[in-house]
Structure 1
Amino acid sequence: MEKKQEPPLAEAVRRLQGVRVWVVEDDPEWRALVAEELVLHGAVVRGIGSVEALYRELAVDACDIVVLDVVLPGEDGLSAARHLRRIGDMGIVLVTGRGGAADMAQGLSAGADCYLAKPLELPVLVAALHSLHRRMAARAGSAYRETAEPARAAAPAPDTGTGWSLRAGGWELCSPNGQSLALSAAERAVLQELFRAPGSPVSRERLIAALTSTPHDFNPHRLEVLVHRLRTRVRDATHLALPLRALRGAGYLLVPVQS
């Protein structure tokens, strides 16, 4: 008897579960179609109509991957890719009707991680996003290992005394009430540092070093945005507040439960 194959969609849901993807496309019908497809595959999606609107969103929030159409009203996707690559480490996927080798080379030189030509099959986009997110997670893990002490990197996170824990290799945050949240690579890196020192301040410099191999090029404001976004996501997912306190001039502190 032939073994029953698992439905492809179920597999895809696991692959993109929790990945935050922002789709920048001026065609509302195509934007809605792409967003619907990615949501079906587990991604958290935001549809945006222009690069200018994207920048406004980035001022208050962040994502894992941006899918950019090249031809957009106002600033185009190539210019946006160059700017995004300078200010952040999100994944960048360019989508365009111009699929020649020279166009692809220009897009990759602008800072794109992936260049996809139209007409675009949605399963190809889903597969590309999964592959890119997997590479981003691997890069983040490599950067963390390069900046952390070997013995500390290999050691499991100790009991924090907070009731919160990291599981699945640090990719899942579990709350005292049994709820869980899938983490991005950046959130995982920050929480691993905090969970290693419960009750003790962790400097911003140490947290930034866990996020990037080039800390001098890192905008410290991005750490504040990341922590703010993480707190919001934790509260929405678990209905509890993450016991994380900002210490002026000192960094952040994971606060143990007072006995």
Structure 2
Amino acid sequence: MSSRDPTNPPRIALVEDDLALRDGILMPGLRGYGFDCVALGSAAELDAAMDGGAFDIVILDVGLPDTNGFDLAQRLRRASRVGIVMLTGRNGSADRIRGLNDGADAYLAKPVDLGELAATLHSLLRRLRPEPSPGGGWRLDANGWCLVSPGDRRVALNEAERKVLALLMATPGAVVSRDDMAAALTGDIYDFDPHRLEVMVHRLRAKIADRSGEALPLRAVRGSGYVMLA
């Protein structure tokens, strides 16, 4: 495992030889959730990349052109403390058990929800490089890509959610105008659909309640904007 500063983006090796899935869906999705993600297509490419620098987590497919993910997971586990997440279309219980026994920290089946994958990565990172927990109310974690509830539940955030919450949580108890929130999301607020902000806030509240079991104390202020209650 890397000993990098926890405020730096977590470095992820994505080992997947399906280019459409890797480069068209997983890579942009993971980068949108704040990960420094490197695309690799084989075990040999992973070996070369690991010689050039450390990764926090390796995401492995089982079906690789030069080996299978189970054998690679075993080798990685013997040689390092890197986090290992297996992401594969082989979702039978025997395969899942084999993957976990061979050294994987988590085993996810394709197709995977990007939010679930991001949450799995953040959960694993928390175990690999724990942060001191100050307790108390709602807060963003050290790198700002997870919202932490008072009950210490973590919700992975995408880039837009992160920007809006960082703005709101910087001044708890103060109203943040809709224009300021829109400016955090776009370079041209005059071309920004205000309805987009309302929909985003509605979905964000629902997502946080569903994944943390707690209600975010975010309130709309008619005619003005939103306030995060202290």
After superposition, what is the alpha-carbon deviation per residue over 1:20-54, rounded to whole angstroms, capped at 9, x for unaligned?
01100001111112111111111111000111110
8 Å contact kept, 1:52–1:75: no
RMSD across aligned positions (CA): 2.2
For residues 62 and 79 of structure 1, the distance between their equivalents in structure 2, rounded to whole angstroms, comes to 20
For residues 126 and 109 of structure 1, the distance between their equivalents in structure 2, rounded to whole angstroms, comes to 22
Instruction: Report 1:1-259 matches (<5 A).
Output: 18-32=9-23, 33-138=25-130
8 Å contact kept, 1:16–1:41: no
User: Per the alignment, in what secondary structure is the counterpart of residue 98 of structure 1?
Assistant: coil
TM-aligned CA distance change 1:86 to 1:93, over 3 Å: same
User: Per the alignment, in what secondary structure is the counterpart of residue 59 of structure 1?
Assistant: helix
Identity rate of aligned residues, in percent?
Answer: 41
After superposition, what is the alpha-carbon deviation per residue over 1:198-251, rounded to whole angstroms, capped at 9, x for unaligned?
xxxxxxxxxxxxxxxxxxxxxxxxxxxxxxxxxxxxxxxxxxxxxxxxxxxxxx
After superposition, what is the alpha-carbon deviation per residue over 1:123-171, rounded to whole angstroms, capped at 9, x for unaligned?
1111110111111113x99xxxxxxxxxxxxxxxxxxxxxxxxxxxxx7
User: Per the alignment, in what secondary structure is the counterpart of residue 131 of structure 1?
Assistant: helix
Instruction: Specify every segment of 5 or more residues in structure 2 that has no aligned partner in the other structure, as ranges.
Output: 1-5, 133-141, 144-230
User: Per the alignment, in what secondary structure is the counterpart of residue 52 of structure 2?
Assistant: coil
Q: 1:17 offset after TM fit, Å?
A: 6.0
TM-aligned CA distance change 1:79 to 1:16, over 3 Å: farther
TM-aligned CA distance change 1:16 to 1:77, over 3 Å: farther
Query: What is the aligned residue count?
Result: 128
For residues 96 and 38 of structure 1, the distance between their equivalents in structure 2, rounded to whole angstroms, comes to 16
TM-aligned CA distance change 1:111 to 1:120, over 3 Å: same
TM-aligned CA distance change 1:109 to 1:70, over 3 Å: same
User: Per the alignment, in what secondary structure is the counterpart of residue 13 of structure 2?
Assistant: strand
TM-score (norm 1): 0.47
8 Å contact kept, 1:92–1:114: yes
User: Per the alignment, in what secondary structure is the counterpart of residue 100 of structure 2?
Assistant: helix
TM-aligned CA distance change 1:81 to 1:64, over 3 Å: same
Report runs of 4+ in structure 1 exceeding 6 Å deviation.
none
8 Å contact kept, 1:92–1:111: yes
For residues 87 and 126 of structure 2, the distance between their equivalents in structure 1, rounded to whole angstroms, comes to 20
- One-letter amino acid of the counterpart of residue 122, structure 1: L
